[in-house]
Amino acid sequence: MSTSKATLSIDTGLETIIAAQTRLSDVDGQGGRLTICGYDVGVLAQGFAFEEALALVWEDCFGPNLRVEALKIELARLRKVAFENLPSFGQNLQSTELLRQALARCEDKSDLNSALYLVAMCGVATAALGRHARGLPPLAPNPHLAHCDDILAMMTGRRASQEEVKALNAYLVTVCDHGLNASTFTTRVVASTQAGLASAVIAGLSALKGPLHGGAPGPVLDMLDAIGEADQAEAWIEAAFERGDRLMGFGHRIYKVRDPRADALKQALARLPKNAGRLAFAEAIETTALKRLAARYPKRALETNVEYYTALLMEALDIPREIFTCMFACGRVIGWVAHAQEQVATGRIVRPQSLYVGPLSKDAA
């Protein structure tokens, strides 16, 4: 039985709508807590290897007996297949658009291996895109390395230090899932049509690309560069407000307090050597930005979000700005896959209604 539109209310940003039931993650916007499959995000970020987080998040959709060592070996094998299947990257597209082309080479199947191949392709193509951004050819994966270690090695051509691997691992695990964010919702919508896993993940990536979602970290660094000196921050921020610009790395639809992921990443960043000066500068800008945001929007708590320290962490790892969003996708692909499978299991297509406000009777005129 369909519901009469007269009884429904419109919510264009869907913030009052609960559109899915999930066992994957809970975003507590009032308490500032993110729980992923029963673990606090800070615990996951510090204590789980990428492959362990993957096994945890995929437990429901691909069975409770996923063995981390076996996943590691299979992921390494699939990185090699992905490398052999990489498209050649053109010059005129953004990295996220090029990553979409690489993912388009994945088949629309929904078994564990096809899902792992999407993860492998994200890592291999992102590392290759990092080299592409610097005019360098791609480097082959190393089957003996874990996923994060290998992404850094493929991108830089050298073995990363333990601290660097830990930092990237902490980042990818921190962002592996986050409730019904725009890209995950998109993924679930596409999955609900039974289009297949690759199509759903490519759709998620397309949503992630925008600067209001996963495209924010590059602009965070652009902002820090443009501010230049801490004592210029206030004037720069006021001018940005006057232009109607948003401050990248601040504000969130769900969090009314500080995004817990910001602190998980700040801790990972602080453990990286040779970072102190940049971190102190970023903290000074953050303090001024929070003060100015509070003054401008006294009724709306606008706090630091995940993207602020993401940007600094990736910069410290010498990851080119052009591929920041692709790196985000390397972590979030874990959640996209699990949400897509969870949605398919409901057997229900996502199909909301719209309110027609156009002319009623043009044809009668």
Of positions 89, 250, 309, 324, contacts ligand CMC by CB under 6 A: 250
Q: Which two tokens stand for residue 141?
A: 């994966």
Quickly tell me which residue has 């500068």 as its tokens: 281
Q: Does 340 bind ligand CMC (CB under 6 A)?
A: no
The least distance separating ligand CMC from the CB of residue 320, rounded to whole angstroms, comes to 20
Of positions 23, 271, 300, 348, contacts ligand CMC by CB under 6 A: 300
Size, binding site for ligand CMC by CB under 6 A: 19
The least distance separating ligand CMC from the CB of residue 256, rounded to whole angstroms, comes to 9
CA 61 to chain centre: 20
String marking each residue 163-182 x if it binds ligand CMC according to CB under 6 A = ---------------x--x-
The least distance separating ligand CMC from the CB of residue 65, rounded to whole angstroms, comes to 32
Q: Does 209 bind ligand CMC (CB under 6 A)?
A: no
Dist. CA 142–CA 224, nearest whole Å: 35
- Residue closer to ligand CMC (CB basis): 37 or 237: 237
Q: Does 247 bind ligand CMC (CB under 6 A)?
A: yes
Of positions 113, 235, 283, 297, contacts ligand CMC by CB under 6 A: 297
List Cα–Cα distances, 79 to 145, 167, 245, 256, 345, in angstroms: 11, 21, 40, 39, 28
Enumerate residues 6+ apart whose C-beta is below 8 A from 54: 71, 119, 176, 334
- Residue closer to ligand CMC (CB basis): 112 or 211: 211
Q: Does 212 bind ligand CMC (CB under 6 A)?
A: yes
Contact in structure between 113 and 320 (CB atoms under 8 Å): no
Contact in structure between 281 and 236 (CB atoms under 8 Å): no
Amino acid making up residue 152: L
Phi, psi of 129 (to 5 degrees): -70, -30
Of positions 130, 204, 249, 320, contacts ligand CMC by CB under 6 A: 249
Helix (H) / strand (E) element for 239: namely helix 233-243
Q: Does 161 bind ligand CMC (CB under 6 A)?
A: no
Enumerate residues 6+ apart whose C-beta is below 8 A from 304: 249, 250, 258, 259, 262, 286, 289, 290
Residues 32-61 that bind ligand CMC (CB under 6 A): none
The one catalytic residue in 286, 307, 315, 342 is: 307
Amino acid making up residue 10: I
Enumerate residues 6+ apart whose C-beta is below 8 A from 37: 23, 24, 25, 56, 57, 59
- Is 307 marked active-site? yes
Name the one range near ligand CMC by CB under 6 A: 50-58, 158-166, 210-218, 351-359: 210-218
Residues serving a catalytic function are 252, 307
Binding site for ligand CMC (CB under 6 A): 178, 181, 212-213, 216, 246-253, 297, 300, 302, 305-307
